Structure 1
Amino acid sequence: MVMFIDGVGAASYVLVAVVAFAASLLGGITGYGTGLLLPPVLIPIVGAELVVPIISLSALMTNASRVTAFRTEFDRRTAILIAAVALPTCFMGAYFYTRLSGPAVTLLIGIMLVLLVPLRRVLKRVRGHLSRSQVAAAAVGYGLITGSTSGAGVLLLSILLAAGLQGAAVIATDAGISLVLGLAKVLVFQSAGSLPPSAWIMALLIGVSALPGAFLAKRLTRGLSHTAHARILDGVVVFGGLLLIRQGTQALL
């Protein structure tokens, strides 16, 4: 019989569901957010080792919903290039993640959350200036990062913007690439025993809760500025990342 996570009450599941919906809504508007907002909430509930596997599994549902919602804007040529190049390093990153201890995972996720915010801003400055070969080179690093941590969608978003994509095309193409790489990560985590039945239950809860967010976001993106949302999200992400760094450092000392 499949059991829920030991010691986790109904209030925790409700909290995860609410955060998953809010993160999906923000992700559909700004292009990123789901993998950045969930770790600080999930780690105290499920433990650090299960966070990236759970988010990767739930992201299959959220990204599939985004691809469906924004399917007419999907840039197949760019998606194939980035997914093909990033896939091998994504496998490597996911395997590396399975070899880390709980405190090390917490520290790694916290550091990456903090670093990805300024990295996104740096890449945003070269919007529309990356050649196809440069996009492929950036995809190599993206694959390694997205395989080993959560929230690397901010990096993919920046790569797509730098490749010249705009608006809904960024959301759709980001979701398509993330869907392919997410399948690769889930295969690695499942084979390594990092996705027990309780993790599938939590991932299903997140995925179902996030589904309406993508379609609601499609309506809100009509004429809604992204600037305020991006700034608020950056602040929340950095704050959550610093908390995780503190937790991981204390556990390792």
Structure 2
Amino acid sequence: MAQLIDLNADMGESFGDWTMGNDEALLNVVTSANIACGFHAGDPDVMAKTMARAHENGVGIGAHPGFPDLQGFGRRRMSITPNTLANMVRYQLGAARAMAAAQGLKVRHFKLHGALSNMASEDKDIARTCYEAALSVDPDIILVVLAATPMQEVAQELRARWAAEVFADRAYNDDATLVDRSIDGAVIHDPELASSRILAMLEEGAIISESGKRIPTPIDTICTHGDTENALEIARQLRKKLKSAGFTLAPMEGTGKAG
């Protein structure tokens, strides 16, 4: 039987008349969509439209909450108290669930954005605050975790459904965290390089860091950022290479059991 794999992309990040990425085309390629919830990007109209298009294409719908930082696109680190952070997560997930429910749809997964995700991948307390908040809204939601980081440990400890994610367009440190975007080579723009890296990781069952270190991990879903240059080309190349390698692309299902 063919091995299942999910291909996800961050999207719904336009705002009013300002457009970010090519969601329309990406939704013909990916199997899951991480839709911005209005704090780092997006607005109610964009959220509703993106969800509707995702549903039309059989693409799984996910909430993609981040820091309240439109100007910095959620990529600037913030110091926020745990209680406030938990409420920010609930607020954004609640908005996504409301917009989906109004169309008879369901938010299947939850994935942190940008600086918030990076901080949660380094700090179990931050990951736990965010994940407990999300599970307090929906105990069955799939938590998308940066594979082999504290995010995965927390999801497992909470006995939640989770999916291990690797990035096609980002370089890795030796601890499975992402190389800082300010460093040369942190973001990968070449579709051939991005897809060959992912196929190598899938074959070895491990994240391959910039130094060549292998970090064993399950891989359930592969991300390409919707705002990355050549995002559409990367996604198309990935889909083509994955299918040629015998993978079946389908929305993530998650591992584990809600506690």
Q: TM-score, normalised by structure 2?
A: 0.29
Higher strand share: 2
Higher helix share: 1
Q: TM-score, normalised by structure 1?
A: 0.30
